[in-house]
Structure 1
Amino acid sequence: MERLGTGIGWRPEIADAIERMPGIDWVEAVAENVCPGHLPESLLRLRERGVTVIPHGVSLGLGGADRPDAGRLTALAERAEALGSPLVTEHIAFVRAGGPLTASPLLEAGHLLPVPRTRDALDVLCENIRIAQDALPVPLAVENIAALLAWPGEEMTEGQFLYDLADRTGVRLLIDVANLHTNHVNRGEDPAEALAELPVEAIAYVHVAGGIERAGVWHDTHAHPVPAPVLAILTDLASRVSPPGVLLERDDNFPEPTELERELMAIRGALAKGWARSAASGVPAREATALRVVGVPEAQTMRVVGVPEAQPLRTPEPSKAVHPPRTTAAPPAPAQTSDPARQRLALAQAALLSALVAGTPVPDGFDRVRLGVQARALGVKRSDVVAKVAPELPVILGESYRAAFLAYAHSHAMSGGYRRDALDFVGQLLLSGGPEDAGARRELREWWLERSGPAPRSERPAVRLVRATRRVLQRR
C-alpha cells in the first residue's frame, strides 16, 4: 500500500470543513456510524477526489474472552468494501464481558477497556485477530488504547505485548501517541521505552489526539487541543520510523476549521522535527514494510513504496532488544487457544467490568481509587451518549438529568447499546416514582410508551384503528 500521508478523523459535525481543508490526503470514519448502503454524501465526494477512507471499528472487542462475533465482522467487511478501503482498524481492548463463559449476564462497557498483558490474554487476542483476518477482505491493523487503570500481575510491558502480537499474527499496528502519553501519566509507563520495544516497521499509521488532566489523571477526551507532550512523542516516533500515515482525531467540542488546520500543521512540524533528528544522527528513520497477514492473499498485503518486499524487519536497539529477529513472513498459526485460557480471562474481565458498571466489589489487586475514577468516567460517558441518542431526555428532566442518570448507572449495567440504555433508564426512573414533577413524569411516560414497543405507537395497529374510527365519525 502506498503512503497515506496526513489525515483527519471524519465526523459529520466537521464534514463540510474537512472537504475544504488543504492537504488532507485521507480520512478515517467510525465504522459503526457508517451505513454501507447509504454512505454520507461528504465521504462519497472525498472518495471521488481520490481521498482514501478507512473504517475504524470500536465495538468488535478483539481483546475480549469470546471469539469475535461473526455479524460484527461481516458488518466491518461490508464497510471496507463499500468505501474501497485498503485496510480496516480496530482496538486492542475488551468492550463487553460475562455471558456463557462465566454463566453470568452479558455486560456492555460502552468504552474501550485495557486487556491484561498476560500470556493468557495474548493467546486469546492472537486467536481472535486470526479469526478477524480470515473474515476481512483487506488487512487489519489494531490500536493500542489509553487506560485509567492497570491490571495486577501483568507479565509484559506494552511494547513487549505488541511486539509478540505482531510477530505471531502478522497484524499491522495503529499506534496512538496520545494513548502512550495517557499511559505515561496514569500508569507511569515511559513512552520512549515503549517505542524502543515496538516493532515500528509494522506500523500502519499513527493517531494523534488531545486530552486533559484532572486531579493527576489524564483523560483522553479527543475534545481538547493536542498538547506538547503528545507532539514530542510523535517526534520521537518519527526519528525511529517514517510512518505511512498520521491522523488527527477530534470527536467533540469541535473548534473552528482554522484551529484544526493549525493542529495539522503542528503534527507535520513534529514529524519533520523527528526526521531531521534522525538525519542528524546519521541513522535514517526506518520505513514500515510489507507484512504477510495470516488468511489474507499476498495481493492484499500492505506495501510501502520504495521498500523491497523481502526486506526483513529490524529488531530494537541492542540495549532495548528483548525479542529474537522478526521476518516479514508470519509463522504458521498455532492450535486454537484452549477454553480454560478463555474462561480464566472471561472471569477476570467480568469481575472488573461488573465492578465498574454494576457496583459489585472491586477485584483483588486493583487500585480502588483509580477504579472509582474509571467508573465515574464511564457513567459520565454513558450519560453524554444517551443524551445524544435521546436528546428529549435532558429537555424533559432539565438540570436533574445528569444526576438521575448517574444514580441509575451506578447499579445498572448497559446490556444492549445506548438506545436500549436510554429506555432502561427511563423505565427504571418511572418505576421508582420519579421524577417528582408530574408534568415531567407524564412526558417521560409518553416518551417511553412511544419507543418501547416493536414499532412507534403511532404505527401500531390499535392506534391506527382508533385514529381511523375517529376520522370516520368526524365525517358523519
Structure 2
Amino acid sequence: MNGNGNGTPGKGNGTPQLGMGIGWRPEIADAIEGLSGVDWVEAVAENICPGHLPDALVRLRKRGVTVVPHGVSLGLGGADRPDVQRLADLAARAEALGAPLVTEHIAFVRAGGALTASPVLEAGHLLPVPRTWDALRVLCENVRIAQDALPVPLAVENIAALISWPDEELSEGQFLAELVERTGVRLLIDVANLHTNHVNRGEDPVKALDELPVEAIAYVHVAGGLERDGVWHDTHAHPVTRPVLDILAELRARVSPPGVLLERDDDFPPAAELAGELTAIRETITAGPATAGGDRRPVGAGAYAPKTPAQGDARRDVPETPRPVETAGDGVRARIALEQVALLSSLVAGTPAPEGFDARRLGVQSRALAAKRAGVVAKIAPELPEILGAGYRAAFLAYAQIRPMRGGYRRDALDFAEHLLIGGRPEDAAARRRLTLWWEDRAAPRPPRRATRLVRAATRAVLVRK
C-alpha cells in the first residue's frame, strides 16, 4: 500500500490510534522502558539502521509499543525533487520498524546544486518555505513523490521558525489546508512550533488552528523551549511551558488527536520529570473539549484563552482522492532554488541578506545554526572537545563562519579537524598529534590495517599518559 491511502484502521478518519508517546532517544532509552502509560515512541529515522535496531527499541516493540520513524533530511520543501536514495532509506526504516506511518517536515534543509549551478549548501536545520502558491506547488509535487515511494502513509510537520519570508500569500493554516486538499497527506501538528511562530513571527496560533484541517491530524508534538531577548528558541531541552499546553487545549477543543507525543532532545531530566510532563500533557488532552453549555472550558492563565464556541470532535473526511496536483515546472523550481540558496548562503556563508528579509533576525538565525553545528559535532565526535578542551566551541564557531556545511555533520567534524590541522593547530603538540591520529582514522579512503591500528592505539596510550 502506498502513502496515498489511509493507514492502519483507527477511529474516525482511518488514522492509526497511537495514544500517548514520547520521543525515543538513546540517552533516555532506559527511562522510557520504565515509564508507565507510554503507548508509542517516535525515533529519528536517520539514526536508525534497519539491520541493526537498538536493543531497547526491539524490546519496546516486543511489548507492543508502536515505533514511528521521524525523518529530518528529506527537505520536502526544497526546490529539488526528493532524493531517491533518501526515500528508499526512509521506506526501509518504516518496514524494519513495522511502522503504521512515517513523518517528515515542511521545510528545506539544503540548497544549491544543478538548479542553481552552485555548490550544495547544507543547513543542518529545518528552514521555513515561503507560503506562496508557487512554493505550494513544489511542495505538493514533492509530497506526492514521497507518498508514492513509501510503503505506509506520510504525515508532515509544521516547523518552528525564527525568520519570515517577504511577500507571503497564505497564512500557515491556509497553506496546510491547501496541502492536505491537494495531496491527502496527514498532518503532524507541533503545538510548540505554533507557539514559537507566535513569539517570533507574530502569528496567532488560534487562527492557525481555526484554518487548518484538524481532521487530517495524524498526531501532535509537544515540546519545551525558552525565550531569550524576545526570541523564542525551540530547544527541546527545557520543560513544556504553560502557553504550549494552552495551545494543546485549544487543539483538543476542536478535535481528539489520534496521538500526542512529548519531544526531548537534550539536557534530559530524570525519569520522574519526564513522567510529570507526560502527566500534564495527558491531563490537558483528557480534560475534554467543552463544557455541557458548549463553550470551551478554561485552559488556565496562559496566553491563549477560550475565544469561540467549541467544535468538539466534528471531523470532515480527508479526501480519499486528492485533487490533481499541478506539477511545478522547472522554471518555478529554478526560481525557488535561487531564492533558497540566497537565503541559506546568507545564513551559513555570510553573504548579504536577500531583499525583504530582516537582517537582524537573519543574524540571530545564523548564530543559532552555528551553535547547533557545534553542539551536534560535539555529540557525534566527542573526541574533538576532549582533545581541544575549553577552546573547542570558540574554534568551531570561528570555523563555521568561513566554512558552510556541505556533507552532513560527520563530514563537518572531519572538515573541522582538517581545517585546524592545516592551520597548525592545536598549538599543543601532543593535542595536535592526537587530532591527527583521530582524523587519519576516519578520513582515510579505507580502514587502516590491523598493524596500523595497533600502533596508533599504542601511540594514543602514550599520549594520554603524557
TM-score by length of 2: 0.89
Aligned residues: 429
Per-residue deviation at 1:83? 0.9
State how far apart, in whole Å, the 2-side matches of 1:387 and 1:273 are: 42
User: Which residue, 131, 141, 144 being the options, matches 1:117?
Assistant: 131
Aligned counterpart, 1:85: 99
The answer for unaligned runs of 5 or more in structure 2 is 1-8, 11-16, 296-308, 457-466
User: Which residue, 417, 421, 446 being the options, matches 1:455?
Assistant: 446
User: Which residue, 375, 380, 383 being the options, matches 2:366?
Assistant: 375
Identity %: 70
SS in structure 1 at match of 2:155: strand
SS in structure 1 at match of 2:374: helix
After superposition, give the CA deviation of every residue in 1:360-400 in whole Å (9 maximum; x if it has no partner): 11111111111011111110110111111111111111111
Aligned counterpart, 1:219: 233
Give yes or no for the alignment of 1:96 onto 2:110. Answer: yes
Give yes or no for the alignment of 1:361 onto 2:346. Answer: no
Contact 1:451–1:457 (Cα < 8 Å) also in 2? no
1:173-252 superposed matches below 5 A: 173-252=187-266
Give yes or no for the alignment of 1:172 onto 2:199. Answer: no
SS in structure 2 at match of 1:241: coil
Per-residue deviation at 1:442? 2.3
1:376-415 superposed matches below 5 A: 376-415=367-406
State how far apart, in whole Å, the 1-side matches of 2:251 and 2:230 are: 25
Letter in 2 for 1:372: G
1:246-285 superposed matches below 5 A: 246-277=260-291, 280-281=294-295, 283=310, 285=312
Letter in 2 for 1:424: D
Cα distance change of structure 1 residues 341 and 396 upon mapping to structure 2, 3 Å threshold: same
Aligned counterpart, 2:332: 341
Contact 2:370–2:397 (Cα < 8 Å) also in 1? yes
Contact 1:146–1:220 (Cα < 8 Å) also in 2? yes
SS in structure 1 at match of 2:51: helix
Per-residue deviation at 1:430? 1.7
SS in structure 1 at match of 2:395: helix
CA RMSD of aligned residues (A): 1.8
Give yes or no for the alignment of 1:38 onto 2:52. Answer: yes
Aligned counterpart, 2:321: 330
Cα distance change of structure 1 residues 122 and 211 upon mapping to structure 2, 3 Å threshold: same
State how far apart, in whole Å, the 1-side matches of 2:397 and 2:162 are: 19
Letter in 2 for 1:76: L
State how far apart, in whole Å, the 1-side matches of 2:314 and 2:57 are: 29
SS in structure 2 at match of 1:146: coil
State how far apart, in whole Å, the 1-side matches of 2:45 and 2:386 are: 30
State how far apart, in whole Å, the 2-side matches of 1:356 and 1:140 are: 30
Contact 1:236–1:274 (Cα < 8 Å) also in 2? no
Cα distance change of structure 1 residues 111 and 424 upon mapping to structure 2, 3 Å threshold: same
State how far apart, in whole Å, the 2-side matches of 1:332 and 1:215 are: 44
Per-residue deviation at 1:359? 1.3
SS in structure 1 at match of 2:402: coil
Aligned counterpart, 2:341: 350
Per-residue deviation at 1:271? 1.4
Per-residue deviation at 1:333? 2.6
4+ residue runs of structure 1 moved beyond 6 angstroms?
A: 464-467
Per-residue deviation at 1:71? 0.5
Aligned counterpart, 1:317: none
TM-score by length of 1: 0.87
State how far apart, in whole Å, the 2-side matches of 1:425 and 1:205 are: 38
- Structure 1, 35-44 or 242-251: larger mean CA deviation: 35-44
After superposition, give the CA deviation of every residue in 1:297-356 in whole Å (9 maximum; x if it has no partner): xxxxxxxxxxxxxxx44xxxxxxxxxxxxx633334335210011001100000111111
State how far apart, in whole Å, the 1-side matches of 2:82 and 2:450 are: 36
- Structure 1, 29-38 or 176-185: larger mean CA deviation: 29-38
Letter in 1 for 2:394: A
State how far apart, in whole Å, the 2-side matches of 1:242 and 1:276 are: 12
User: Which residue, 264, 286, 295 being the options, matches 2:313?
Assistant: 286
SS in structure 2 at match of 1:37: coil
Contact 1:211–1:226 (Cα < 8 Å) also in 2? yes
- Structure 1, 372-381 or 12-21: larger mean CA deviation: 12-21
